[in-house]
């Protein structure tokens, strides 16, 4: 049993790490600078950010997957959910028959999975941090995770795949030779693994949101818990509640809206509902 003094020290140390990695923005220009920080790549002479972004309307929300939010003994339900989804959806989705393809399709259509949505676009992340005007009374947040640093923690066999392809993020094809099931993924390492994967371009929503996923080999591990152990891989950009309306209005003017990110009548309706909602 861990002594109380040691437990308190560990908790304070974790809080200190989180405070060091948090940054509260001061204004619109400050937000731009922070989101595009360290994007210059001298090797290619171009500005290419190495961050995955995720925007949330409340700074206190944990990085939990939809599978975790299902509740109950969700780890025992995961395989059943995916198996039945692929069985009943097969007549509509037949491009590929691999675990990675089915996970991506299932996540896209709202099935609880261990995948988590991210985007290459800081502006898309800004949208999701400010889309819910009912939460404009709380600070929002944009998580930024360095996926190149995350890759340093994957097994050598997967690092070889990245080097062979000259890639920084995995695709399903790159993983198929090594991981064909969730148990294969778990057995790759004794350590909890976290990696980023680009989904197939199922529809315009994936393309317009510049979307990709993170996934853990441990379905019970929230990503923020993993990040605590790897403080060099991330930053947490806090958006004060007082700035949300300014950011929201400027994103709307830049056409970063539900109408674009969720093509179709549903996205159009969401955009119009928010656009014509009273400020007070």
**pLDDT tens profile 123-151:** 999 999 999 999 999 999 999 999 999 99
User: Which pLDDT belongs to residue 12?
Assistant: 47
Residue 275 has pLDDT above 80, yes or no: yes
Residues of the chain with pLDDT > 90: what percent? Answer: 70
State the Cα–Cα distance between residues 91 and 46, nearest whole angstrom: 44
pLDDT digits (tens, 9 = 90+) for 198-226: 987 778 888 999 999 999 999 999 999 99
Q: Find all residues with CB under 8 Å of 246, minimum gap 6, and list them.
A: 28
Q: How far is CA 187 from CA 126, 178, 180, 183, 217, in A?
A: 36, 10, 11, 6, 8
pLDDT digits (tens, 9 = 90+) for 76-101: 999 999 999 888 886 666 566 688 88
Average pLDDT of span 170-195: 90
User: Which pLDDT belongs to residue 208?
Assistant: 93
- Mean pLDDT (the chain, rounded): 90
The closest of 88, 11, 74 to 221, measured between CA atoms, is 74
User: Which pLDDT belongs to residue 2?
Assistant: 52
Token pair recorded at residue 121: 């676009």
pLDDT digits (tens, 9 = 90+) for 7-49: 554 544 555 555 789 999 999 999 999 999 999 999 889 999 9
Inter-axis angle of helices 28-35 and 122-130, nearest 10: 130
DSSP 116-172: EEEES-HHHHHHHHHS-GGGTTS-EEEEEEEHHHHHTTS-HHHHHHHHHHT-SSEEH
Q: Find all residues with CB under 8 Å of 156, minimum gap 6, and list them.
A: none
- Give the number of residues written for the chain: 280
User: Which pLDDT belongs to residue 173?
Assistant: 86
User: Which pLDDT belongs to residue 206?
Assistant: 87
Lowest mean pLDDT among 8-12, 48-52, 100-104, 226-230: 8-12
Beta strands in 95-152 (DSSP E): 116-119, 140-146
pLDDT interval class at 261 (50, 70, 90) = very high
């Amino acid at each position: 049993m861990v002594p109380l003094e040691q437990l308190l020290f560990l908790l304070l140390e974790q809080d200190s790490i989180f405070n060091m990695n948090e940054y509260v923005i001061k204004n619109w220009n400050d937000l731009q600078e922070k989101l595009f920080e360290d994007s210059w790549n001298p090797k290619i002479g171009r500005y290419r950010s190495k961050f995955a972004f995720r925007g949330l309307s409340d700074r206190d929300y944990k990085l939990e997957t939809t599978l975790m939010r299902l509740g109950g003994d969700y780890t025992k339900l995961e395989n059943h959910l995916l198996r039945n989804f692929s069985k009943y959806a097969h007549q509509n989705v037949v491009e590929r028959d691999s675990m990675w393809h089915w996970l991506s399709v299932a996540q896209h259509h709202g099935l609880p999975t261990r995948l988590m949505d991210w985007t290459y676009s800081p502006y898309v992340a800004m949208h999701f941090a400010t889309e819910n005007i009912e939460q404009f009374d709380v600070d929002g947040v944009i998580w930024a995770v360095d996926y190149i640093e995350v890759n340093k923690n994957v097994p050598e066999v997967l690092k070889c795949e990245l080097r062979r392809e000259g890639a920084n993020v995995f695709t399903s094809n790159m993983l198929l030779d090594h991981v064909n099931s969730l148990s294969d993924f778990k057995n790759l390492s004794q350590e909890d693994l976290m990696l980023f994967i680009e989904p197939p371009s199922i529809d315009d929503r994936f393309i317009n949101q510049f979307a990709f996923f993170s996934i853990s080999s441990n379905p019970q591990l929230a990503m923020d818990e993993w990040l605590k152990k790897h403080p060099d891989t991330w930053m947490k950009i806090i958006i004060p509640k007082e700035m949300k309306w300014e950011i929201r209005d400027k994103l709307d003017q830049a056409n970063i809206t539900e109408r674009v990110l969720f093509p179709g009548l549903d996205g159009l309706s969401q955009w119009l509902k928010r656009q014509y909602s009273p400020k007070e």
